[in-house]
Amino acid sequence: MFTELIQKEKLIAVVGLGYVGLPLALEMAKHFRVIGFDINQERIALMQKGIDPTRELDSTAFQNVDITFTANATDLEQAHFFIVAVPTDIDEHKVPNLIPLQRASLSVGKALKPGDYVVFESTVYPGCTEEDCAPILEEHSGLKVVQDFKIGYSPERINPGDKTRTLPNILKIVSGCDDETLSTISRVYGRIIDAGIYEASTIKVAEAAKVIENIQRDLNISLVNELAIIFDKMDIDTNAVLAAAGTKWNFHRYAPGLVGGHCIGVDPYYLLHKARQLGIEPQVIAAGRRINDSMPVWVAKNLVQTLLQKGKNPSTSKVLVMGITFKEDVADIRNSKVVDLVKELMTYSIHVHIVDPCASPNEVAHEYQLSLSEGTSKDYDAILVAVAHQQYKALSFEYFQSISRNGLILFDLKGLYPHCKSLATTYWTL
């Protein structure tokens, strides 16, 4: 298979062209013939023009690559090596939503031929590839896994907004249903990954490794968030505490904050779901999720209490929220906890203005029924800086004061403006 792929006698298909799939497809297309498939025709039209809908890649990434973008599922029949990189999120009950993965498996299953390979990159719980996806592939292809076609799992490690740790510079975990499959998958990914390949012993090990990477981060952040809640009550500067503790050689520094996005805020629920199916009720993982999910409400209540303490009626107050993406310097608004914070403020009838230089107003309106303001006014009762966008870092006390009324109330969630602490009427940070 590898020889035929590298000689471009056979094609690779990447299914799902979002933050994970598009960079992967373009890197593969530097060495192989690639079909880039996505069900969203509008996104495909942009990519055909050399435009990344996620705004992570510039037009040069589309140059000198052997790739065909399509929204036609029948085009997948041309491929022999499939990589599935569709999103895996959770529903309103925090239960894994496997519908995109199931639909992608169905489309690939219809295109499968004897000898083909299917590699999944979507984050899942251990066992999902073999127990949930493989049967769909078998049903719609009429073939048998291992015997007629091969499957593998290679967890994505894309870090949106990171221009240093790009795909080729991140070590890649690969796994396969047997030794031959593992070797082939390893060789294919080895063509595009400079940082090296780690061959996991089984598919389940690779799936589990991915999900606990983000669970570990989630738990560490939940600890400092809980500390921030405690220290706030004690009138102690959390960041000062972390700086002092960080002088010890084995102290690991994490910052408090809103934990959103499509990784840390989602992946723990996949392992929770699988554990509960097995009759296990995880205590530590669930506690970390409860703390991090509760942070937007806690921050909103602090802001409301501050308004009341300063003699301002929340129902007649105007608050500016700066930043709505899930992290700095990206356009991604998926599972943004700033949205939860904004909606909590609105329950107090606060008039909330939202600005963000990176987010798409259309996407924000479509996903959350919220409107981004084109600019700022001059009469805010409080300003809350929620995301550490590069464009925000140089803002001065004078700027914040110029758009405030009756004294500056500045909620600096990321600790960007410590110089404002002694100047503002109220300065608050996590």
Q: Residue 159: its pLDDT value, please?
A: 85
Q: Give helix 284-309 / helix 337-346 axis angle, nearest 10°.
A: 40
Across all residues in the chain, what is the average pLDDT? 95
Given this chain, do its domains 2-201 and 219-428 carry the same CATH topology?
yes
Q: For domain 2-201, give the fold.
A: Rossmann fold (3.40.50)
Q: Tokens 């700022």 map to which residue?
A: 376
Residue 250 tokens read as: 């084995």
Residue 231: CB partners within 8 Å, gap ≥ 6?
237, 238, 241
263 flagged as catalytic: yes
Phi, psi at residue 117, to the nearest 5°?
A: -120, 145
Q: Residue 182: its pLDDT value, please?
A: 97
Residue 112: CB partners within 8 Å, gap ≥ 6?
82, 118, 137, 140, 141, 143, 149
Question: For residues 154 and 172, is the Cβ–Cβ distance under 8 A?
Answer: yes
Question: 336 by DSSP, 3-state: which?
Answer: coil
Burial 268-288 (b: 16+ CB within 10 A, else e): bbbbbebbeeeeeebeebeeb
Within the chain, which residues score under 50 in pLDDT? none
Question: For residues 370 and 339, is the Cβ–Cβ distance under 8 A?
Answer: yes
Q: Tokens 């809980």 map to which residue?
A: 226
Q: Residue 346: its pLDDT value, please?
A: 97
Q: What order do you get walking across the sheet with 409-412 strand by strand?
A: 351-355, 318-322, 382-385, 409-412, 426-428
State the alpha helices, DSSP H only, in 158-314.
179-190, 203-233, 238-245, 267-277, 284-309
- Ramachandran quadrant class, 237 (left: phi over 0; alpha: psi -120 to 50; beta: rest): beta
Q: Residue 152: its pLDDT value, please?
A: 98
User: Which residue ranges make up each domain of the chain?
Assistant: 2-201, 219-428
Q: Distance (Å, rounded) from C-alpha 100 to C-alpha 221?
A: 29
**Active site residue: 128, 177, 263, 358, which one?**
263
Q: Residue 49: its pLDDT value, please?
A: 94
CATH 3.40.980.10 fits 219-428, yes or no: no
